[in-house]
């Protein structure tokens, strides 16, 4: 059962999101022309007011031309400045009321500014992609842009027929009329706004392995000339999927898509049910396999189990980093303990000024957070023992599936799986800047069962 944690304004991004209501569903209809980079869209947003009457509310949306706004079919008063679409309904919405917002917008999408450069919609040499973490979603559609406000999505994209459209979720229909094709995707799982993925390009689609009865369909969407390298680099992704389902529980979505763009990307981009890699991440030598594992692990940790707000980002990145180490150990590389020792040596020579449970906006993507997050989980594993630790991970992914949670919730959850006190350990690793001693203990990933369980939820 999803546990939705109630939170107020995000302390790192107080201008993004509105805690006075929550969205249940987005239905987006987009028309995109790659040449002029022209986007026209209609959003139908089904939402529910909070515990107080709602005299006004806001959506986040970048600098587009607004053509129409309606609330329950009636024209409201609205203003659109500084990335905020402020809406005052003709009549205040009562507490707990369901309501529908309709927005029409158009313009030339571009990334929104952030301390990390442009985020969101990125025009490519021949196509486009979305890379929204953490606050880039308003660069292309109106949304309640806070990670804990999760909704289902239907996305319809019309674009010239030479292009493929890939989004997270299941492809419902693909309809060609004259020179354009409309692609309609459905993502029923609760999804944070920054995790709505979209890629438009000229791709060849391949199946990654045979999912078999009850398996997870996995597809790659790649430029045709990169197919030989891709086929080697991503050959072991189905085995990663098997391992992570064994260790973390059932894959939380219907399908998984991997997109490789023609262009280089600094880092891959995770989205709900899909990940996007740059051409530079495909070398034919499995040189970036750890990133394949990292992005896949985010489907459990970060996407299905989301963070209550951005202070808790270590729950995304520390878990995905540790999944890299687990895959390395299972696939015959360095063990998780060896990776932990290497990370500890690296961190010991760097500044000791990071509290990963609340790193501050400036340091939330610091590589030290990733490494120390992985080390934190290794320390918990050493303290709990393998059997309890992996039951705890499966329980975390199962209990909070489709929901959002924070660090204190994780600490309370972990404590239920062991008699060992964890408060001081977690405080040292998460709250104190000084690097604790390297955690030690006998660790070994459980042997692969002859017949992996179909449901690996909490015991």
Q: Domain holding 124: CATH number?
A: 2.60.40.1730
Confidence of residue 179 (pLDDT cuts 50, 70, 90): very high
Task: Give the Å distances, CA to CA, from 231 to 5, 207, 217.
Answer: 41, 10, 16
Report yes or no on 443 lying in a domain. no
Residues 219 and 145 in one domain: no
Same domain? For 262 and 385 the reply is no
- Check residue 212 and give its pLDDT: 81
Please indicate, yes or no, whether residues 320 and 413 belong to a single structural domain of this protein: yes
Same structural domain for residues 106 and 254? no
- In three-state secondary structure terms, 195 is helix
pLDDT at 455 over 60: no
Do 169 and 223 have their domain in common? no
Residues 288 and 345 in one domain: no
Q: What average pLDDT does range 373-393 have in this prediction?
A: 97
Do residue 218 and residue 292 come from a single domain? yes
- Residue at 444 is within a domain: no
How many structural domains compose the chain? 3
The reported pLDDT for the residue numbered 210 is: 84
In a domain, 442, yes or no: no
Residue 40, judged by CB atoms within 10 A of its CB (0-12, 13-18, 19+), counts as: middle
pLDDT digit string, tens, across residues 15-63: 999 999 999 999 999 999 999 999 999 999 999 999 999 999 999 999 9
Whether pLDDT at 2 is above 60: no
pLDDT per position as a tens digit, 206-220: 999 888 888 999 999
Assign 3-class secondary structure to 357-416: CCCCHHHCCCHHHHHHHHHHHHHHHHHHCHHHHHHHHHHHHHHCCCCEECHHHHHHHHHC
pLDDT at res. 453: 37
- Structural domain including 376 reads 306-431
Pull the structure tokens for residue 234.
Answer: 């991503």
Answer with the one of 272, 299, 326 that is the final residue of a domain. Answer: 299
Give the angle 247-236-335 at the CA atoms, nearest 5°: 55
The model's pLDDT over 246-288, given as tens digits with 9 standing for 90+, comes to 999 999 999 999 999 999 999 999 999 999 999 999 999 999 9
Peptide bond into 134 cis (omega under 30): yes
Tell which of 130, 161, 195 closes a domain. 195
Task: Answer whether residue 143 shows pLDDT above 60.
Answer: yes
Distance CA(193)–CA(153), nearest Å, equals 10
Residue 458 domain-assigned (yes or no):
no
Question: What is the residue-averaged pLDDT of the chain?
Answer: 94
> Residue 261 maps to which CATH number?
3.30.2010.30
Question: So what's the pLDDT on residue 447?
Answer: 60
Q: Do both 54 and 76 map to the same domain?
A: yes
- The answer to whether position 445 is within a domain reads no
At 446 the pLDDT is: 66
The pLDDT of residue 452 is 38
**CA–CA gap between residue 233 and residue 240 (Å, rounded):** 13
The predicted pLDDT at position 440 comes to: 87
Asked if pLDDT for residue 142 goes beyond 80, the answer is yes
Q: How many CB atoms lie within 10 A of CB 101?
A: 24
Strands 164-167 and 198-201: antiparallel
Q: What is the predicted pLDDT for the residue at 13?
A: 96
**Which domain-ending residue is among 195, 228, 250?**
195
244 membership: H or E segment, kind and range:
helix 237-248
Rounded to 5 degrees, what angle do the CA atoms 318, 319, 325 make? Answer: 95
- CA distances from residue 403 to 6, 96, 101, 151, 278 in whole angstroms, order as listed: 10, 20, 23, 10, 30
- When pLDDT is averaged across residues 91-102 and rounded to a whole number, the result is 97
Q: Is the pLDDT of residue 3 over 60?
A: no
pLDDT for 200: 98
In the chain, the percentage of residues whose pLDDT exceeds 90 is 92
At residue 441 the predicted structure's pLDDT band, cuts being 50, 70 and 90, is confident
What is the value of pTM for the model shown? 0.94
Q: For 225-251, write each residue's pLDDT tens digit.
A: 999 999 999 999 999 999 999 999 999
| Least reliable range by pLDDT among 88-97, 118-127, 439-448 | 439-448
Model pLDDT, residue 213: 83
- The answer to whether position 447 is within a domain reads no
- Per-residue confidence (pLDDT) for residue 411, from 0 to 100: 98
For residue 285, tell me if it sits in a domain: yes
Residues 53 and 90 in one domain: yes
Over 50: is that where the pLDDT of 4 sits?
no
């Amino acid at each position: 059962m999803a546990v939705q944690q109630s939170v107020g304004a995000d302390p790192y991004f107080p201008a993004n999101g509105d805690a006075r209501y929550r969205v249940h569903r987005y239905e987006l209809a987009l028309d995109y022309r790659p040449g002029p980079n022209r986007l026209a869209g209609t959003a139908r947003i089904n939402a529910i007011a909070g515990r107080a009457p709602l005299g006004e509310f806001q959506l986040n949306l970048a600098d587009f031309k607004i053509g129409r706004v309606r609330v329950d079919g009636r024209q409201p008063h609205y203003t659109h400045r500084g990335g905020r679409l402020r809406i005052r309904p003709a009549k205040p919405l009562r507490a707990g009321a369901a309501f529908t917002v309709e927005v029409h917008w158009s313009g030339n999408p571009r990334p929104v500014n952030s301390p990390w450069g442009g985020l969101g919609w990125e025009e490519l040499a021949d196509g486009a992609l979305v890379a929204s973490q953490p606050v880039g979603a308003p660069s292309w559609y109106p949304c309640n842009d806070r990670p804990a406000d999760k909704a289902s999505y239907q996305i319809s994209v019309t674009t010239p027929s030479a292009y493929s459209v890939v989004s997270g979720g299941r492809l419902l229909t693909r309809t060609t009329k004259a020179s354009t094709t409309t692609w309609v995707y459905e993502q029923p799982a609760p999804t944070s706004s920054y995790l709505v993925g979209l890629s438009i390009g000229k791709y060849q689609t391949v199946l990654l392995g045979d999912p078999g009865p009850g398996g997870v369909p996995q597809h790659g969407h790649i430029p045709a000339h990169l197919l030989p390298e891709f086929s080697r680099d991503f050959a072991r992704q189905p085995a990663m999927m098997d391992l992570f389902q064994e260790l973390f529980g059932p894959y939380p979505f219907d399908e998984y898509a991997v997109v490789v763009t023609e262009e280089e990307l600094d880092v891959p981009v995770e989205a709900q049910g899909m990940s996007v890699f740059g051409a530079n991440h495909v070398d034919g030598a499995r040189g970036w396999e750890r990133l394949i594992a990292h992005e896949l692990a985010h489907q459990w940790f970060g996407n299905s189990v989301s963070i209550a707000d951005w202070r808790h980002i270590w729950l995304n990145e520390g878990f995905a980093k540790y999944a890299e180490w687990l895959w390395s150990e299972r696939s015959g590389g360095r063990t998780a303990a060896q990776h932990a020792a290497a990370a500890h040596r690296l961190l010991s020579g760097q500044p000791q000024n990071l509290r990963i449970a609340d790193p501050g906006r400036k340091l939330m993507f610091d590589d030290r957070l990733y490494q120390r997050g992985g080390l934190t989980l290794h320390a918990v594993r050493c303290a709990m023992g393998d059997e309890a630790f992996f039951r705890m991970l499966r329980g975390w992914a199962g209990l909070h599936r489709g929901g959002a949670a924070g660090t204190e919730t994780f600490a309370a959850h972990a404590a239920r799986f062991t008699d060992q006190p964890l408060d001081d350990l977690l405080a040292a690793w998460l709250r104190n800047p000084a690097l604790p001693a390297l955690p030690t203990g006998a660790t070994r990933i459980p042997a692969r069962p002859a017949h992996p369980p179909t449901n690996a939820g909490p015991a």
